[in-house]
Amino acid sequence: MRQIKWIILAFLVTFALQPGSIYAAGPAAQVGGQPGSTVYLPIIQNSLPLPPSDEAAQRITLPPGFEIRIFAQNLTGRPRFMAVGPDGQLYISLFGSGQIARLPDRNQDGLADSVEIVSSGLSGPHGIEFHDGWLYVAGIGSVVRLSGPDVNGAFSAPELVTNNIPGSGGHSTRTLHFGPDGKLYVSAGSSCNICVETDPRRAAILRFNPDGSIPADNPFSSDPDVKKQAVWAYGLRNSVDFLWSPSGDLWANHNGSDGLGDAIPPEEIVIPVQKGSSHGWPYCYTPMLGVNTSAEIRDTRLALPSGFTCEQAIPAQFTALAHSAPLGMTLGAGSLFPPEYRTSLYVAFHGSWNTNVIANYRDCKVERILLENGQPIGSETFATGWRPAGAKCGDATTWGRPADVIFGLKGEMFISDDKGGRVYRVIYRP
Ligand SMILES: [Ca+2]
Ligand SMILES: [Ca+2]
Ligand SMILES: [Ca+2]
């Protein structure tokens, strides 16, 4: 009897530790076939720690039931993209200082214990991801990887994976992710606001084997130009982040061009990336705000190449206000948010610096894109409050700017802030 109780208890504890499982107290079912032997189990709630109220809690507005706290602060060197390591700890790239930091929470109080620099001397590290015992880092001009962490938390020196990606100039952040096919995808933005690129790897998503070689099934793998061999998809002015949708499709965002006023082109938030295809830039853009059902239309500043029309470009399925500056994004699956929030897409908006009318200053915030049957149907603000009313997000008065958003292993959300030098942690606690 006692043994059975413990088995049931262990079962409930196990499941209570899974994201989203909340068990209230109450009489358990009869155990052991003995009439009347009701077993009362303890209250087991999957409640994540909530540190005391702080400046983030006071400034940032979230939907009811959500709580935000500063997880780490005084991060120098422009903290940008994050990844969760095999040790369960949070890692972040410090783009400006050439470093990767670990922000461990070993005592599990919801606050980073310290800032541990695990690698230095990197060239503009931005996108980071763990894969197969390695930490891959996308920097300016190369992807490198470090083995680790070892039992002491240490990493090897970086080794080159590939330098077949664009270097500095123009958009310089590089983002990488491994696809469900086990391949390494790297996005590289354009060298300019609007121009015809001479390097085919610009304004593109590239694809490599994990060792940096070119997969045979890349669309241009037999092209005489080794640079073009790496290209998976193009016409993506600056896809700062991308991911795979619930149905396994590659979705990228894209920061549109400047110079057409405050309202156009809309920022392309969900682009269903197609192998070997153009996604429009610099000739075309997705016209509709929100859910888009139209083909791309002309940006008439450049003449179309011979034989190319905007109907051939893959349009975005969902857009946001021009100059919102979508950066990191993630799906809510695996979060410890309420079920309706787990089927959403979350995007860090850096906010605008280049709109003219105050009413058009785009907010620096985290946007929630609502998905239905795996497709975007609308959006709403999830987290806001980093700037005073009427301020530009780059102004000195602005407290911060979200750069990336991911979920940790316990189902909590982390938001990086490359202006305020912070990482925030968001949990749901009704
Ligand atoms: Ca801690
Ligand atoms: Ca486009
Ligand atoms: Ca992401």
Q: How far is the CA of 420 from the centre of ligand 3 (A)?
A: 20
Q: What ligand is nearest to the CA atom of residue 256?
A: 2
Other CB atoms within a 10 A radius of the CB of residue 45 amount to 12
Ligand nearest to the CA of 327: 3
Residues that place a CB less than 5 A from ion ligand 2: 279-280
pTM confidence score: 0.90
For the CA of 113, the nearest ligand = 1
Query: Using one digit for the tens of pLDDT, what is the confidence trace for 85-103?
Result: 999 999 999 999 999 999 9
What is d(CA 309, CA 295) in angstroms, rounded to the nearest whole number?
Answer: 10
Distance 344 CA to ligand 3 centre (A): 13
Radius of gyration in angstroms for the set of CA atoms belonging to the chain, rounded to a whole number: 23
- Contact between 127 and 177 (Cβ < 8 Å): yes
Ligand 3 ion: Cβ-proximal residues, 5 Å cutoff: 241, 328, 330
* DSSP letters for 342-410: HT-EEEEE---SS-SSGGGPPPPEEEEEEEETTEEEEEEEEEB-SS-TT--TTSTT----EEEEEE-TT
Nearest to 345 by CA among 272, 268, 246: 246
**Ligand 1 centroid – CA 124 distance (Å):** 28
Q: Which of 243, 249, 239 is nearest to 331 (CA)?
A: 243
Asked if 59 and 402 count as a contact pair (C-beta separation under 8 A), the reply is no
User: What separation in Å is there between the alpha carbon of 346 and the centre of ligand 2?
Assistant: 20
Question: Distance, CA 302 to ligand 2 centroid (Å)?
Answer: 15
Cα 331 to ligand 3 centre (Å): 8
The CA 109 to ligand 1 mean position distance, Å, reads 5
Gap from CA of 316 to ligand 2 centroid (Å) = 6
pLDDT of amino acid 334: 87
Per-residue pLDDT at 213: 98
Return the ligand number nearest the Cα of 282.
2
Nearest Cα residue to 185 out of 249, 108, 121, 110: 249
Q: How far is the CA of 285 from the centre of ligand 2 (A)?
A: 4
CA of 372 to the centre of ligand 2 (A): 22
**Alpha carbon 88 to chain centroid, angstroms:** 17
325 backbone dihedrals φ, ψ, rounded to 5°? 65, 70
- pLDDT of 4: 41
378 CA → ligand 2 middle, Å: 19
Distance from residue 408's CA to the centre of ligand 1 (Å): 14
CA dist 263 and 212 (Å) reads: 40
Q: Which domains does the chain have, with CATH numbers?
A: 1-46 (no CATH), 47-428 (2.120.10.30)
Could you say which ligand is closest to the alpha carbon of residue 251?
Answer: 3
Q: Provide CB contacts within 8 A for 45, sequence distance 6+.
A: 16, 22, 23, 24
How many angstroms separate the CA atoms of 286 and 276, rounded? Answer: 19
Between the CA of 240 and the centroid of ligand 3 the distance, in Å, is 9
Distance from the CA of 30 to the center of ligand 2, in angstroms?
60
Centre of ligand 1 from the C-alpha of residue 103, in Å: 9
Output the CA 243–ligand 3 centroid distance in Å: 6
* pLDDT in single tens digits along all 430 residues of the chain: 344 444 443 333 333 333 333 333 333 333 333 444 444 444 434 589 999 999 999 999 999 999 999 999 999 999 999 999 999 999 999 999 999 999 999 999 999 999 999 999 999 999 999 999 999 999 999 999 999 999 999 999 999 999 999 999 999 999 999 999 999 999 999 999 999 999 999 999 999 999 999 999 999 999 999 999 999 999 999 999 999 999 999 999 999 999 999 999 999 999 999 999 999 999 999 999 999 999 999 999 999 999 999 999 999 999 999 999 999 999 999 899 999 999 999 999 999 988 889 999 999 999 999 999 999 999 999 999 999 988 999 999 999 999 999 999 999 999 999 999 999 999 999 8
The residue to which tokens 């958003």 are assigned: 405
Ligand 1 centroid – CA 310 distance (Å): 52
Which ligand gives the minimal distance to the CA of 331?
3
Residue 352's closest CA among 421, 398, 315, 300?
A: 398
